[in-house]
Amino acid sequence: MVHNFFQDMVRMKKSGGLEPHASMRIFPKVPPKEKTIEVERVAPIKPTPPTRVTDNYSLSPKRAENQTPPKPTTMLDPKHEAEFASVYDISKHHIDANQGSSRGIWFLALLCVLTLIFALSWFFSEAKVTINPKVLDVALDKNFFSAKGALTSDLAFDLIVVSGEAKREVVGAEKREVEESAKGRVIIYNNYSSATQRLDINTRLEGSNGKIYKTEKQIVVPGKKSDGTPGSIEVNVYASLPGESYNSGPLDFTIFGFKGTPKYSKFYARSKSDMAGGKVGTVNSVAPEVETQIINELKTSLQEELLQKASGSIPAGFILFHGATSLSIDSQEINPVPEKEGTAEIKITGSLHGFLFDEASLIEKIAAVSVEGYDGSEVMIPNLRDLNFTIYDQDALSFKDTKNLTFNLSGETKIVYKVDENKLLADLVGRSKKDINQILSDYPNVVSGNVTLKPFWRNSLPEKPKDVKLIINYP
């Protein structure tokens, strides 16, 4: 619009007057003055962004001459224009703010990491107490007395009995003529009186099958007990004549020599095994030296088998020493093997008898004779079963009938004092680490102890026993 104004002025100069213009007022015509108007050549104005220009000034010649074109204004209000004008300052402040924000983020991240480490350290916390109990080395070589089912302060023992058989085939047996009597084992009862009754070897027993059998050795039948229970004893018997007709299942017996007396109905016997082995005729036979060797081997294997079987049936809390057992052979046979020419089978049957001891009572007896001034504290012997057990006069001892027993235990061992774990835990929970030594000093069975607490800044044990791991270093 300013540009148009100057163009009109030039045209008016050339024409000597004003020409009407739609945007101009009409002024009275005045004589031209003698004045030269120099029009300054203005450099082209560079285009600027679109602006809104307000044409609210007068176009009088005088004003037009001195009027300065108004500065173009933007569409922003003054407040936003000022903020826009200082954009370089905004960028600077933005950079400073980012730097401050980054420092804050790193500080927050570090705080989170420390919090996580602290939380994990408590999650993986540990409280462990290791105790070393009192241990004494002992070279044991002591004699002990025991009574069957003792109710006094004496050491008690019980009897365990297991039975079985072992057999083996022998190739190369020779045929020979034999006459063998059936054999078996019976129990003889005394229901007559409380007095004992001696029976000589070869005492005749009449079986319920009408056959006569004889005892293999002299025996003494115990008297009737005070509660009315008959006295009893076991003995091996054999048929009075050879032959298979004496072979039989379980039988009842009377004592033939008591017939016609009051004792006849009060003394009686019953089979504990079948009556077997009776034969007359040709059988497969092996050389005597071979038979003896095989029978000894069968006895050894049978004893080991029965010992293992007995060990599996021992009640909890009892102990059976290997030397506290004895194998008795009930029968041995040599029989032909059907459909195997020249082959015989050697078979033995037997019973293993063993003495059982209450383990806790035995350990207490060992400690009493081995530790000077033993105060009755609960102790343990880790290798108790490895001690050497020897019975005095074992050859003259009847495992089935004995009432009293004297034996020796020997060997290198340790007597370890037990610690009351429940009481110790109750005393330890919640206590400071510096108090542990004082607490352990009240336990005479404890030699030393060690406490491990994690994390390292913990100085006291947890409040609950389940959170404390107690380890007793028993050998």
Sequential DSSP letters for 415-428: EEE---HHHHHHHH
pLDDT band per the 50, 70, 90 thresholds, residue 2: very low
pLDDT band per the 50, 70, 90 thresholds, residue 323: confident
Which two structure tokens, joined as six digits, stand for 346? 């050697």
Model confidence pLDDT, tens digit, residues 160-175 = 999 999 999 888 767 7
pLDDT band per the 50, 70, 90 thresholds, residue 71: low
Which two structure tokens, joined as six digits, stand for 238? 């054999």
Return d(Cα 107, Cα 113) in angstroms, integer: 10
Which of 122, 427, 465 shows the shortest CA–CA distance to 449? 427
Cα distances (Å, whole numbers) of residue 143 to 298, 357, 370, 406, 463: 33, 15, 11, 7, 49
Across the range 45-66, mean pLDDT stands at: 46
What is the residue-wise DSSP string for 178-235? EEE--EEEEEEEE-S-SS-EEE-TT-EEEETTS-EEEESS-EEEPPPPTTSPPEEEEE
Core vs surface per residue 218-254: b (16+ CB within 10 A) or e: ebebbbbeeeeebbbbbbbbbbbebbeebbbeebebb
pLDDT band per the 50, 70, 90 thresholds, residue 11: low
Model confidence pLDDT, tens digit, residues 118-159 = 555 555 467 899 999 999 999 999 999 998 877 666 789 998
Confidence (pLDDT) at 72: 52
Q: What is the pTM of this model?
A: 0.56
| Residues sharing a CB contact under 8 Å with residue 195, sequence separation 6 or more, in sequence order | 223
Model confidence pLDDT, tens digit, residues 390-406 = 988 776 677 777 888 89
Confidence (pLDDT) at 109: 73
Confidence (pLDDT) at 148: 86
Quick check: 7 pLDDT over 70?
no
Which two structure tokens, joined as six digits, stand for 32? 């031209």
Return d(Cα 181, Cα 247) in angstroms, integer: 9
More confident residue, 74 or 179: 179
- φ/ψ (deg, to 5) at 168: -155, 140
Angle at which helix 78-85 crosses helix 87-123, to 10 degrees, equals 70
More confident residue, 333 or 382: 382
**Across-strand partners of 285?**
174
Lowest-confidence range among 101-115, 168-182, 344-358? 101-115
Quick check: 49 pLDDT over 60?
no
pLDDT band per the 50, 70, 90 thresholds, residue 117: low
- Please answer whether residues 93 and 101 qualify as being in contact, where contact means their C-beta atoms are separated by less than 8 angstroms: no
Lowest-confidence range among 55-64, 208-217, 278-287, 350-359? 55-64
pLDDT band per the 50, 70, 90 thresholds, residue 19: very low
Confidence (pLDDT) at 286: 78
More confident residue, 357 or 53: 357
- Please answer whether residues 62 and 30 qualify as being in contact, where contact means their C-beta atoms are separated by less than 8 angstroms: no
Quick check: 91 pLDDT over 60?
no
Lowest-confidence range among 2-11, 266-275, 367-376? 2-11
Mean pLDDT of the chain: 80
Return d(Cα 306, Cα 162) in angstroms, integer: 6
pLDDT band per the 50, 70, 90 thresholds, residue 62: very low
Which of 192, 241, 254, 259 shows the shortest CA–CA distance to 221? 192
Report the range out of 6-20, 325-339, 419-433, 447-461 with the highest average pLDDT: 419-433
More confident residue, 99 or 194: 194
pLDDT band per the 50, 70, 90 thresholds, residue 335: confident
